[in-house]
Amino acid sequence: MFVLADCNNFYASCERLFRPELNGKPVIVLSNNDGCVIARSNEAKALGIAMGAPKFKIEEEIRQHNITICSSHYELYGDMSARVMTNLARFTPEVEVYSIDECFLKLTGFKNLESCALTIRNTTIKNTGIPISIGVAPTKTLAKLANKLAKKTPSGVMVLDTDCKIAEALKTYAVEDIWGVGRQYATKLISEGIETAEQLRNLPAEWVNKNMTIVGARMWRELWGQSCLQLKTVLDPKKGMCTSRAFGKLTGDYGELEQATASYASRLAGKLRREKLCTMVLSVRLLTNRFKTDQPQAYPTISINLPHPVNNTTDLIKASMKGLKRIYLKGFLYQKVEIIAIGLIPETEVQLNMFEQYNGIKNNKLSNILDGLNKHYGSGTIRMATEGKQQKWAMRRQFLSPRYTTDWKDIIKVK
C-alpha cells in the first residue's frame, strides 16, 4: 500500500508554528518581492483570497479582514520540510520525497492501515507542529486522491483499501483533480462528457490507449488499482542547477548587476558543494520585465565552457563576471539575472585537462573555509567582496519572519 503524506497549507503552517497567536486567523504568504499570494491558511481561503492574487489588488481585503502577511521564507520552509520528512521516514525505509511538502511512503506487512496512518499523522504533528493529511491506497494515483479526501475529514486520514471504498471515492471526484490530468486533458475529457474519476475509469481500454498518451494509460490502470508508478527511493542525478530571483527594483546600473551576478554565482557554488557536484558549463542570462511593455526588452544570454569542472566560489564568480561583461547591454532596465550550471558531474569523477594547468586547489580550500565559517556564524556572515555590502538590488521582503530554526540570534527565548 502507498501512503501520501501532505502538509496542510505548508508555508502558512510554518509561519504559524512560531506565532501561535495566528492560529484561527487568516494568513497569506507572498512570492518573491512580496508580489503575489503563494500560500493561504484555510481562513484566508474562506475569505475568497485567490492563489496567485497580486498583493496590490487585495489591499482592501487585507485591511478589512486584518489578514496577516508574510514574505516567503524558503530557508525556514526547507528546514521544517526536512524535519517532517525525517519523522515520516521513521515508519518505513521506502520513502520518496515528492516535493517540499509531500512524501510518498510504502507500507508492507501492516494489517490495521487506519491505525497505522493515524499513528504516522499524530506522531509527525507532535514532533514538528506541522499539520499533515494522510492518504492510503494501492497505487500512487489513488493515494493522491485519498489524500485530497483526507483533508476534508476530521481525522485527516483516508484509507482506500477495498474495491468498494475506491469505487465510492471515485463517484464524485472531479476528473480535473486527478493526479496526472492537466488542463488540456481535463478540457478534452469534459468535452467528451467525462466529468468524474469514475467515468474516466469506466472508459474502455481501447479508447484510453487511442486517445491518451502512455502517461494517461498508466493513470487509468492506477485508478483500477494496478500499480504502475513505483517509489523513487534514489533521486535521479541533477542535470542542471540555477540561482535566480527578481531584483527588488529594476536596474540598469552595471555595478549593481555585478553585485547580483556575483551573489547568485556564490549561492550556486554553495549549492553545488552541498550536492558534491561540479559544473562544466556556466550560463549567464539577463532579463528585463516583460510586463513593462512601455520599456525596451532584452534577454541576452551566454554559455561559458569552463576549462575544468569546478564548484568553488572564486572560479564561478570569475566566469560569471566574464559572461556578464560580454552580454551587458546599455539602455535597458533589468529585472533579473540567472546563473545556471549545466553539465554536472560528481566531485569524485572530475578529470583535469592535461593541456592546461589547474590552479583551483587554493580556491577549493578557500570555499570550504567559507562554508565552515558561515555554517558556524550564520549564512552570509562572510562573503566575497564582489557581492557588495549594500545590496540595493536585493529582493523586497518587508514581512519576513525571523530565522527561528537556522540562526542562533533568532532562536525563540523563554523567559
DSSP-derived secondary structure for 84-109:
HHHHHTTS-S-EEEEETTEEEEE--S
Query: What percent helix, strand, coil does the chain show, rounded to 5?
Result: 40, 20, 35
Give yes or no for residue 373 having a pLDDT over 90: no
Query: Among 391, 389, 381, 74, which Cα is nearest to 260's?
Result: 391
DSSP string, 293-329: TTS-----EEEEEEEEEE--HHHHHHHHHHHHHHH--
- pLDDT at res. 166: 93
- The Cα–Cα gap between 253 and 256 comes to 5
- The Cα–Cα gap between 348 and 253 comes to 40
pLDDT tens for each residue of 213-241: 888 889 999 999 999 888 887 767 778 88
pLDDT tens for each residue of 182-207: 888 888 889 888 899 999 899 898 88
Give yes or no for residue 32 having a pLDDT over 80: yes
- pLDDT at res. 354: 62
Query: Among 164, 175, 166, which Cα is nearest to 146's?
Result: 166
Give yes or no for residue 389 having a pLDDT over 80: no
pLDDT tens for each residue of 87-128: 999 998 899 999 999 999 998 877 889 999 999 999 999 999
Give yes or no for residue 328 having a pLDDT over 70: yes
Q: Is the C-alpha dihedral spanning 75, 81, 85, 86 positive or negative?
A: positive
More confident residue, 414 or 328: 328
- The Cα–Cα gap between 311 and 339 comes to 13
Q: Is the C-alpha dihedral spanning 155, 96, 196, 225 positive or negative?
A: negative
Q: Which residues pair with 29 in a beta bridge?
A: 39, 70
Average pLDDT, the chain: 89
C-alpha pair distances (Å), 110 with each of 74, 145, 164, 230, 260: 36, 21, 20, 19, 52
More confident residue, 340 or 415: 340
Domains of the chain (ranges plus CATH)?
A: 2-150 (3.30.70.270), 162-223 (1.10.150), 240-387 (3.30.1490.100)
Instruction: Classify residue 234 by its DSSP letter.
Output: S
- pLDDT at res. 213: 81
Give yes or no for residue 3 having a pLDDT over 90: yes
Query: Among 215, 229, 202, which Cα is nearest to 144's?
Result: 229
Question: Which residues, 6 or more positions from 414, have their beta carbon under 8 angstroms from its beta carbon?
Answer: none
More confident residue, 356 or 129: 129
Q: Phi/psi of residue 355, each to 5°?
A: -95, -5
pLDDT tens for each residue of 331-356: 899 999 999 999 898 888 777 666 56
Q: Using the structure block, give the residue that is written with the C-alpha cell 524558503.
A: 74
Query: Among 2, 24, 14, 172, which Cα is nearest to 81's?
Result: 14
Q: Mean of the pLDDT values across residues 34-52?
A: 92
Task: Pick left, alpha or beta for residue 24 (phi over 0 → left; psi -120 to 50 → alpha; otherwise beta).
Answer: left
DSSP SS3 for 278:
strand
Give yes or no for residue 10 having a pLDDT over 90: yes
- Stated pTM of the model: 0.81
Question: Which residues, 6 or more positions from 361, have their beta carbon under 8 angstroms from its beta carbon?
Answer: none
- pLDDT at res. 358: 64
Q: Using the structure block, give the residue that is written with the C-alpha cell 587554493.
A: 362
For 193, other C-beta atoms within 10 Å of its C-beta total 7
- The Cα–Cα gap between 215 and 277 comes to 31
> Beta 157-159 vs 240-251: how paired, if at all?
unpaired
Give yes or no for residue 137 having a pLDDT over 80: yes
C-alpha pair distances (Å), 266 with each of 45, 75, 309, 339: 38, 16, 16, 10
For 64, other C-beta atoms within 10 Å of its C-beta total 10
- The Cα–Cα gap between 130 and 291 comes to 37
DSSP SS3 for 264:
helix
> Beta 95-99 vs 102-106: how paired, if at all?
antiparallel
Residue 63 has which C-alpha cell? 485591511
pLDDT tens for each residue of 249-293: 889 999 999 999 999 999 999 999 988 999 999 999 999 988 888
Give yes or no for residue 357 having a pLDDT over 70: no
Q: Which stretch of 69-73, 149-153, 184-188 has the lowest confidence by average pLDDT?
A: 184-188
More confident residue, 414 or 260: 260
